[in-house]
Structure 1
Amino acid sequence: MVCALGAAVCFGTATVLQAMAARAAAAHGPGGDAALLLRALRQWRYLAGLALDGLGFLLQIAALRSIPIYAVGAALAASLAVTAVAASRLLRTRLSGVEWAAVGVVCAGLAMLGLASGTEGESSGPAGLDWWMLATAGAVLLLGAVGGRLPERARALVLGLGAGFGFGVVEVAVRLIDSLDPYDLLRDPAAYALLLGGGAAFLLLTSALQRGSVTTSTAGMVIGETVGPALIGVVWLGDRTREGLAWLAVLGFAVAVAGALALARFGEAPQAVPEEA
């Protein structure tokens, strides 16, 4: 659980650092996306954000190999709370009373999960689950192609959900990989599902944030990356709770995800509020 929470802190902080670097790059002059990216890459904040993303991914893998998927998914959704708090300090973004309450709700939900979650299940799932994950990753790409042609509101929701499904494929695929030997990985469909699912998720999320509502797309992503993988972990991979605490795990999961949804506008680092004259 410490690794899962550490991943959330890394991802949430990285979002704010990269936003600060991107704004500083934009302030140095106009340019296309490529020019802005090159200027951002020269700044230590952007590089630090990338390093935190890498560290967060490693912590996510460690967590997925140690505790149930439902606990990791809820913790990763909580990175929105980290982004919100960091943005309020570093970007001087104003959080409403409801949003501060949502941060507290997320923390309460994670505390319940920490108390109730057991160890990861030892089941490898039904035969062919790794191939189903690979097929799902391919379906995410097709969903992106279809969703990109929808009206704005529906487009943001569909692309956000698709991104969440892609990240969910990554979570399940990490659990399905049995060996890290390069020869075994080359023959393992779960390894390809992880790469394709992760790449598709980033592609769809980027498109959703650029072409639709940040709040809608992020809410869709949170739902897509938490509910489905949690069910797969419980039904097929043997994830369980501590004895007699299943109710607390369900409550904690629901509370943490609900709090994250209330903070969905921080799926992309918010704009700083201008200082009053």
Structure 2
Amino acid sequence: MLIGLLSALLAMVLNSGAGLLQSEATRRVRRRRPLVLQPRYLAGLVVDALGWVCTVVALRHLPVFAVQAVLGGSIVLTALAARRLFDSVLRPVDRVAIGACVTGLALIAASAGDDRPSAVSAVAYVVLSVALVGLAVAAVLVWRGERSWPLAVVAGLGFGGTSLAVRAVQDPDGPLGLLTQPAPYLVVLFGAVGLASYSRALVVGSVSNVTAVFLVTEVLVPGLVGIALLGDAVRAGWRVPLTVGLVVAVAGVVVLARSPAQAPPKPRRVR
């Protein structure tokens, strides 16, 4: 369990660092050097990949609800770092929200049980597969819409589905054993739907609104599905603290996602 918690915390730090690198890269965009060619943007992608590896390790040791909640805490680090690096404004309500996030995440982490499901039922794979098809259809239907929140919901569910699929992977006897399982393919496909929808949502709407809807969806829904579908364990007598922690942490995330501290830094003037 300790390995899972440390991996989730490291993934949270890496995700926050990747976001800051990519945010800084947007300041350096020039006509002949677009964002995809900026070294900081590329470095951010590498850091993101390292964060994903840590997330996978965490999901092999902790319930989905615990890992997703810890990852959602990256917005706290981003707000604090942006204040130092970009002189962003941190309002009094933001400070309260940071405390709420930390308190909520502590309750959620303490609620995680030690038992890991020994096997995943065929029903779980069927449900995840049907959900994947439904998400793909939903993404197509809302793709050209003028509102960002439906796309953000689909993105949150897509990345949440990725976490559920990682959790559902059974320990293989070898590479061939891994390839014969449906879960790895679900990981890739859920991730593709989530990434495409999130990118489109950022084009349609503001970063703050998209981030708020995305994080709430990504934290709440997969965690509850993991308990109901995959048998993720909650410590005996800790269901109420878990619920309180989720509510408090999500409320803090929503406030911070809409904070001026999350606004992208002003671009540098290009001569």
The equivalent residue for 2:168 is 176
Secondary structure of the corresponding residue to residue 149 of structure 1:
coil
| Separation (CA, whole Å) in 2 of partners of 1:97 and 1:266 | 11
- Percent identical residues: 34
Secondary structure of the corresponding residue to residue 128 of structure 1:
helix
Q: Once structures 1 and 2 are overlaid, which stretch shifts more, 225-234 or 66-75?
A: 225-234
AA in 1 matched with 2:66: A
AA in 1 matched with 2:37: R
| Separation (CA, whole Å) in 2 of partners of 1:56 and 1:266 | 24
| Separation (CA, whole Å) in 2 of partners of 1:18 and 1:100 | 24
Structure 1 residue 160 displacement after superposition: 0.2
Matched, 1:203 2:227: no
Matched, 1:167 2:159: yes
Q: Once structures 1 and 2 are overlaid, which stretch shifts more, 81-90 or 198-207?
A: 81-90
Cα deviation 1:216-272 (Å, max 9, x = unaligned): 222221232122211222123222222322221221122112211112247995233
Note if contact 1:160-1:220 (Cα within 8 Å) is conserved in structure 2: yes
Structure 1 residue 37 displacement after superposition: 2.9
Matched, 1:127 2:131: no
2:228 is matched with which residue: 235, 238, 251? 235
Q: Structure 1 pair 265/258, CA: closer, same or farther in 2 (3 Å)?
A: same
Matched, 1:9 2:13: yes
Cα deviation 1:71-95 (Å, max 9, x = unaligned): 1111111111121111111122112
AA in 2 matched with 1:55: L
| Separation (CA, whole Å) in 1 of partners of 2:261 and 2:157 | 18
Note if contact 2:8-2:54 (Cα within 8 Å) is conserved in structure 1: yes
The equivalent residue for 2:181 is 188
Matched, 1:219 2:223: no
| Separation (CA, whole Å) in 1 of partners of 2:22 and 2:152 | 20
Note if contact 1:93-1:273 (Cα within 8 Å) is conserved in structure 2: no
Q: Structure 1 pair 250/230, CA: closer, same or farther in 2 (3 Å)?
A: same
Q: How large is the RMSD of aligned CA atoms in angstroms?
A: 2.3
Matched, 1:80 2:75: yes
Q: Structure 1 pair 245/64, CA: closer, same or farther in 2 (3 Å)?
A: same
AA in 2 matched with 1:168: G
TM-score (norm 2): 0.88
Cα deviation 1:136-175 (Å, max 9, x = unaligned): 223222212211232x3xx211000000110111111011
| Separation (CA, whole Å) in 1 of partners of 2:158 and 2:95 | 29
Equivalenced residues, count: 262
| Separation (CA, whole Å) in 1 of partners of 2:115 and 2:165 | 14
AA in 2 matched with 1:115: A
- Structure 1: which 5+ residue stretches go unaligned? none
| Separation (CA, whole Å) in 2 of partners of 1:64 and 1:12 | 19
| Separation (CA, whole Å) in 2 of partners of 1:224 and 1:267 | 21
AA in 1 matched with 2:254: L
Cα deviation 1:16-41 (Å, max 9, x = unaligned): 111112211x2xx325xxx513431x
| Separation (CA, whole Å) in 1 of partners of 2:36 and 2:110 | 45
The equivalent residue for 2:237 is 244
